[in-house]
Structure formats: structure tokens, C-alpha cells
Structure 1
Amino acid sequence: MASQPATLFEANGSFGKYMFNVGAPETSMLRKVAELMQTATQKRLQDEISAEAQMMQYGAPEGDPRFLTALVKFLSEEYKEPIDECALVETAGATSGLFYMLAQMFPKRCTVYCEEMTYFIALNIMRMLEFNFTAVPLQSDGIDVAALERQWEGDLKDAQPKESDTFSAVLFLVPMFNNPTGTVLSEEKRHALIRLARKYNVLIISDDVYDLLYFPGSSPPRRLIAYDNTADPDYKGNVISNCSFSKLLSPGLRLGWMELPKWIRQKYWIKSPIVDSSGGISNYVGGVVAAALEDGSAAKLISETRQELAARCGAQLAVLDQDLPKQCQIYARPQGGYFIFIKLPPGANATALHVYTKEKYGIRFQEGWKFWSGDASKREEADRCLRLSWAYHQVPSLVEGTKLFCQAVHEYLADSAK
């Protein structure tokens, strides 16, 4: 009898010797999280046994109270500015947050605007929910705001929502360490996006799962939702910050949070019939992680993770800088996150290269076409792009695999030129 797959990567057939395709932590990191959770579980369950065990009950819609209080302290220290607990809710990760908001807030669907290269599974979720989406060009400092304004002026100028608490459209973007390109949205563009979202009545769903994975020695711009100032006279609440512990700790925890405008939080989360049925999402895991946030062990491990990811990125970049064919281009020098985005020379095809690297070297990566949100007939440049992740391998294996990857690219390009 065949053994059952233990991980998503085994189940979907994405396993390989060198898994540069996977945006997930590897075993040495996960063992540390397992140890952290073992200690936190013992602490929190003893507290529950000594009290009324309310963590084991249907939870409050917004989440475990201790988790939210500890999360506020953690985020305030990380972001270096006050966080309002009344704007937070506990989720089962960024995927669940995106699904809940799209499905509940837009039952009649609308157009979703997104960067022309964006997280491909988010695109698949939007397709499944039957949203139409429009691609917006991406630049080295984030989404092309001028192009977006022209698009919205044509599409949304005369769009009038039937109710004051609805939106005409959605903008989905990954502003920090973009998946897949690694770009960071500039401060100037963050201000501009808030202005445009208010003018054209657009809800921005900001995928912020990489915000806290900046490399040591650097300091990221403020998260996008912080620019949507509640004190502004034209404030409505146009940004949702959708976050996760999947990259910070472990995806197996299925734990995240959203920071929401208070009226959205009340109408679409606290009063949601879905949450009313289930109770707080991920209540048990959030309660356990609360103990790790309270004693500082989670923050310490996340800091160590940042340092380790920076070392891995540096090791992979050093090999690419030395060995990658000169006609290839690294789209953005990573400052954090998980990914390096590479453009092959004109005429090359990342899918054909991937077939070659898998068969000869056991190397997997993600082809650029998967991230393309625009018209399939216009994805020629995306077809010659690819994404590498440095997260899933320790440095020795990462260096070895990256050297082989560069060798494979040389071989593929030489064969293609014949």
C-alpha cells in the first residue's frame, strides 16, 4: 500500500532534489518551531486546565483575547508604531483572509486589479470565485501608479456604488518583497495608492506576508495600511492588511491575522455568518502562539529566521552573480522575503528550461507565466522569466543546487543557439 503524502509538496508532485520552487521553510527551521510550540502548548494548556478552559470552546469572532493582546505588543515593536487591537482579527492564514474578504464583500463580484506579475495561487483563487481581473504594469519600485490611474479613470470614473459601505473594485498587490519579483513598493507610490483608492472607491487588499522578513541592517517602509490615516477628513478605510505566520514561523500552524478598517471588521468579520457558525478562526493555535508571543520566544525565533534567510539569499546571489550567464537578468536585488526573479534572454523559454533542469539535475523552480495576470496572448516576457526561492535549503545544498542551475542555464542556452 502506497504511503500517504505528508506535505503539500508531495501531494501536488512538486518534490525534487533542489526545490527552488517552494516558498516555505525547511526542516531545520520547522524543528525549532516544533520545540517552541511544545513549550508554548504546555504553558497555555496548563493555564486552561487551571482556569475554565475557554480556549477549547467556540472562540470569540475576533480571536483568542490573549493572542490579540500579545500580537499587538509584538507588531507594535516590529513595526515601531502603535497598533490598534480593535482593528485586528485572527485568521487561519493569508489564504483564508483573502477568500473570506472576497467572498463576503463582493458576492456579485467586481474587477480585481493586480500587478501584472503576482502571486499565482491568489490568481487561481480569484478565477475560482469568478472574478475578472485586470493586469497593471510593474516597475522596479512597485506597481505602475500612473498606468493604474489611467486605467481607473477609464474604468471607474462614473462607477457609483449603491451603498456607502461598498467598493467599486479591488486592488490586490504584494507591496513588500513582491512574490515573485522581490520588488518593494516605494513610499511615494504608497501615498499615491491611498489617494487613488479613495478617489475611485477601491478596496486594496495588501498581501503583507513578507513585511517582517526584511534582512538585518535594513528597515522596510511602513506597511501600506499605515498610510490610510484614520485622521484624514476623507478617510473611509480603503486598505486591508492580510498577514500570516506561515513564513514567520510555520505554515502548518495555519495562523494569521488581518488588520482592517473597523467598519469592515465589524460587518464582514464580527457579524459574519461564517464566523458566527465556526467561532474564532484558528482559536486553539492562536491561543498557543499567544504564549510564545508573551514570553518573547516567538520574536526571538523570527529574528533568527530573518538572519538565516539573509544568509541563504546572500549565498544564492553570490553564485548567481558569478555563474549565471551574463545575458540573464536579476529583476530586483532582494532586500528580504523569499524570492529572486530572473529574466532569461529573448527567445528563451522558462518552461523548456524547467523540463531540462528537472530531468538532468532534479532542480525545480517556478516558471514566470504562472504569475502573469494579463492577457495570455501578451505574456511573451513572462514566458522567459522564472522565480527561485532560497528558503527551502540550507546554505551548502543551496549553493550546490544554484551552481548546477547556472550550469543548466548555460547548457540550455547553448543548445537553443544551435
Structure 2
Amino acid sequence: MSLQNKEQKLKHLFDGGAWNVYAPDILNLGVGAPGTDLLEPCCDLFQQASAHCLNREKDDNQSLIFQYGPTSGTFEVRHQLAQYFTQMYGSPVNSEDLIITTGATQGLHFVLSTLIDFNGFIFVDEFTYMIALDSMKHFTTLQIVPLKLNDDGVDLKDLEAKVSERRFKSNSKEFWAMYYTIPTYHNPTGILFSPDVCRGIVKLARKFDFLVLCDDVYNILNYIEKPLHSRLLSYDARTDEDFAGNVISNGSFSKIIGPGVRLGWLEVPPLLKLQLDRSGIIMSGGCFNNYTAGIVASLFELQLAQTHIASVYEAYKERMLTTTAILKAELPEGCQFSAPRGGYFIWIKLPEELDAGEFMEYTLKHEKITFIAGPRFAIETGKGKQYFRISIAFHSKEKLEDGTKRLCSALKSFMAITADVKL
């Protein structure tokens, strides 16, 4: 064991390993991050927004952006976000319901540590965001329970059965359990949960007193049509007689502005807002990202954010529609996928006898293409071996067009070789 840390001098999260999405010799279709071309305008945009924000801080605001901020974030920041997302969602977002975070993963950790009994349960979709699973596993006393996933969202019968048999009364926290999901353009499957499923989730959450935390990071990236409700939180209506506040929306700018900004927000019902605002971790430091939140507020005030997000959206839409068109035309017989109506990801199913991990090794060797195989998204060992996920976010339309065609060609060859071996 070394007694000294090694300095690696890395430049980004994907640097220094096999998953380096910037490596010119490999086409990495696995990474869910915006590409270089989409981040390039951010230097100029943030330079303008920073000057606007800091001049006001210096002249009018006693440089309070450098002080411990209010726990939820300043009103000005939350007001700008509420205005924008009210317009984009087509339903009200209230500034008083928002808590500024450093992104969706930190929001997940904050909610888990504050609101969920550590002897309780986390219910997850049978395939879900893999790094969220990694984060949950650090809460070693919480049991993670997978749920069946259908084409229109979580299986409500499975959810009710598993929740009802595990329910207990917590004496230490607000909730005995949490259901974590990505109901709008799901990661990794691309599913948009149906209105009936969304209503069913809310009904069960109220009946069995568990929390629903929605990873709402792709919600405005709708490429075909806008959903009836842009987030599951809208189904937990405060006008309902049995409303208690069982749903939290966990948002982030990582996918629509840039991950390095490290800014997100929780949209929280009144009872839970009070508890989160009084949590020791936020009371100690105040707003999780007071400085950057102020800069982003100026970004919106100057209409720079709106223009940038609209440009990013158009690029994603073109990339998704191009990639799905090629898959529809060239994916071999016996393979399946459903074209997502939004978001980042396409979930492809191979014939039952094939292994996506083995196919990934084949494509890396023969085409220098890689992706993420299904088991990485499952809590159950070995589950999902016939699935894999590709992302449309990072690479240009031209690279995706070429890469998807080569991927389909490689799959045809792999299937033929596999069939010959079995004969």
C-alpha cells in the first residue's frame, strides 16, 4: 500500500482511463454529457454574466455573493429559475419551493441523509441511473429493492406489493422509504412514464407514506411533443383532499448548460422544505452554491441562458432523430428498441441468447466503438445482459450517423459469428 497519493493532473472526469470520451481513436457512445461544441459558448456567456453579477454585487449588494447564502438560495436566484421553468414546464414553479443544490447527485444525497430512516428502503427501477445506485450503496443500512419496469413506466402492482410488505413506522425520520426514479425520459431506457403510471405512483406514495424522488434532469428535452405534465411532481396536486407532499423534483443544469457549473435545485412541498432548510449540512454552510447561483441568475436575467439552452436543445434533437432513424433502418432483425421522445439515451435489446458485454468487446476490437452494457444499470447481479445503452449527447450528428451505422453493421457480424459458434 502506497503511503503517498499520486498526482494524475487530470483535466476532466473521463480523463486518464478507458472511458475517455475525448480520445480520438475510440468513439465512446456511453457518456451522458454535453459535447465540446455545446460547451464552447459557455466561456463568453459566463464572462458576460459574471461581469453583470459582480458589478451589481460591488455597487449595490455589499459583495454578499461571497457571504454564506440563505439556506435555500437567494430570492433573486430562485425567482429567475421559477420564471424560466414555469414557462418551459407549462405549469407553475414557485420560488418558495426551491432549494439550490450543486446538482442532482448532491440533491439525492441531501434528501437521503435528511428525510429517510437509515433502517428503511430505497425502491428503484430494475434498470436505473448507475451512479445513483453507487451513491445509494454508501448508505449501508438502507436496503435497495428493484421494481419491474414496463414500457410505460414502473409496474404499479409490483411497486404496491413490495412497498406494502416492507412498510414500517419510522420514529426518527419523515419517511421509512423512498422510491427513486427518472420518470421523464428515463435513464437508461428513455421511457416517458404514462399519466396513468404517474397518478398511480402518487396514489401509492400517499397510501403507504413513502417519498418519491424524481431525477428531473431531461424534462425540457422533449423532441416529439411536450408531455401532459413535464414532471411527476405536477400529479401530486396540492388541491387534492389527501395531499401531504410525497414528491420531490430533483433538477440540474448539467445536461442543459454544463456539468462543471455544479448547480441544481430541489422543488419541494412545504412540509419537507422546512425540514431540509433546517438540516445541519445546509445550516452550517448556507446555500450550497451561492456564488455560481448568482452568476446563473444573471445568465437568465440577460437572456443568455435561454438562448444557450435553446441551441443545445436543437442539437440534441437533431442527434436523437438522426440516430433513431438509422437504428430503425439498420438494426438487425431480432434486436429491439423504442425511439425515445426526448432525453439523452437509447436502450437497445439484443436477442436473449446474446450478451451485450461480449458485443461491446467485439465492437471495441473491430470498430473502436464502446457503450455501456445493461448490467451496469441493475442492482441485481447479472440482470440485463442482453441490453445496452447509447447516448446522443456528446458527439456531433455526423459522428453519430457514422458510428450508429458501424454499430449496426458490427452487430450483424457479431450475431452471425455467434450463431455459427452455436451450430
- Please list every run of at least 4 consecutive aligned residues from structure 1 whose deviation after the TM superposition is greater than 6 angstroms: none
Matched, 1:48 2:57: yes
What root-mean-square deviation, in Å, do the aligned CA atoms of Structure 1 and Structure 2 show? 1.7
Matched, 1:303 2:310: yes
**Preserved CA contact (<8 Å) 1:366 1:386:** yes
Describe the SS at the equivalent of 1:388. strand
Distance in 1 of aligned mates of 2:222 and 2:41: 20
1:339 is aligned to 345
Following superposition, the deviation at residue 113 of structure 1 comes to: 0.8
Tell me: CA distance 1:64–1:292, structure 2 relative to 1, closer, same or farther (3 Å). Answer: same
Tell me: CA distance 1:61–1:340, structure 2 relative to 1, closer, same or farther (3 Å). Answer: same
* 2:143 partner amino acid: N
Following superposition, the deviation at residue 363 of structure 1 comes to: 1.0
Describe the SS at the equivalent of 2:193. coil
Tell me: CA distance 1:318–1:63, structure 2 relative to 1, closer, same or farther (3 Å). Answer: same
Tell me: CA distance 1:264–1:2, structure 2 relative to 1, closer, same or farther (3 Å). Answer: closer
Tell me: CA distance 1:220–1:297, structure 2 relative to 1, closer, same or farther (3 Å). Answer: farther
**Preserved CA contact (<8 Å) 2:195 2:228:** no
* 1:406 partner amino acid: C
1:150 maps to which of 146, 161, 183: 161
Following superposition, the deviation at residue 220 of structure 1 comes to: 5.2
2:3 is aligned to none
2:297 is aligned to 290
1:186 is aligned to 194
Following superposition, the deviation at residue 370 of structure 1 comes to: 0.8
1:115 is aligned to 125
Following superposition, the deviation at residue 365 of structure 1 comes to: 0.5
1:274 is aligned to 281
2:336 is aligned to 329
Tell me: CA distance 1:216–1:302, structure 2 relative to 1, closer, same or farther (3 Å). Answer: farther
Which is bigger in relative contact order (C-alpha 8 A, separation at least 6)?
A: 1
* 1:32 partner amino acid: P
Describe the SS at the equivalent of 2:240. coil
Matches within 5 A, 1:2-401: 4-15=9-20, 16=23, 17-51=26-60, 52-106=62-116, 108-130=118-140, 131-156=142-167, 159-162=168-171, 166-215=174-223, 217-219=225-227, 221-268=229-276, 270-330=277-337, 332-373=338-379, 375-376=380-381, 379=383, 382-401=384-403
* 1:100 partner amino acid: F
* 2:154 partner amino acid: I
Distance in 2 of aligned mates of 1:2 and 1:204: 40
Describe the SS at the equivalent of 2:214. strand
Task: Give the structure-1-normalised TM-score.
Answer: 0.94
Following superposition, the deviation at residue 9 of structure 1 comes to: 0.9
Deviations 1:127-168 (A, max 9, x none): 121121111111111111122112223332xx23337x6222
**Preserved CA contact (<8 Å) 2:225 2:341:** no
**Preserved CA contact (<8 Å) 1:216 1:307:** no
Deviations 1:250-301 (A, max 9, x none): 0010000000122212112x21111122221111111001011112221222
**Preserved CA contact (<8 Å) 1:111 1:132:** yes
Distance in 1 of aligned mates of 2:225 and 2:127: 28
Distance in 1 of aligned mates of 2:8 and 2:286: 34
**Preserved CA contact (<8 Å) 1:168 1:200:** no
Describe the SS at the equivalent of 2:15. helix
* 1:284 partner amino acid: Y
Following superposition, the deviation at residue 8 of structure 1 comes to: 0.6
* 1:347 partner amino acid: E
Following superposition, the deviation at residue 12 of structure 1 comes to: 4.7
Following superposition, the deviation at residue 216 of structure 1 comes to: 5.9
Following superposition, the deviation at residue 2 of structure 1 comes to: 9.1
**Preserved CA contact (<8 Å) 2:191 2:340:** yes
Q: Greater shift after overlay, 190-199 or 407-416?
A: 407-416
Distance in 2 of aligned mates of 1:223 and 1:252: 24
Distance in 1 of aligned mates of 2:137 and 2:170: 23
Tell me: CA distance 1:2–1:203, structure 2 relative to 1, closer, same or farther (3 Å). Answer: closer
Tell me: CA distance 1:11–1:204, structure 2 relative to 1, closer, same or farther (3 Å). Answer: farther
* 1:297 partner amino acid: L
Task: Give the structure-2-normalised TM-score.
Answer: 0.93
Matched-pair identity in %? 32
Distance in 1 of aligned mates of 2:228 and 2:131: 25
Deviations 1:57-77 (A, max 9, x none): 111111133211111111111
Equivalent residues, number: 409
* 1:290 partner amino acid: A
Deviations 1:169-188 (A, max 9, x none): 11111100000000011111
Distance in 2 of aligned mates of 1:278 and 1:145: 40
Distance in 1 of aligned mates of 2:204 and 2:17: 40
**Preserved CA contact (<8 Å) 1:242 1:259:** yes
Distance in 1 of aligned mates of 2:92 and 2:227: 17
Distance in 2 of aligned mates of 1:41 and 1:358: 43
Distance in 1 of aligned mates of 2:16 and 2:274: 37
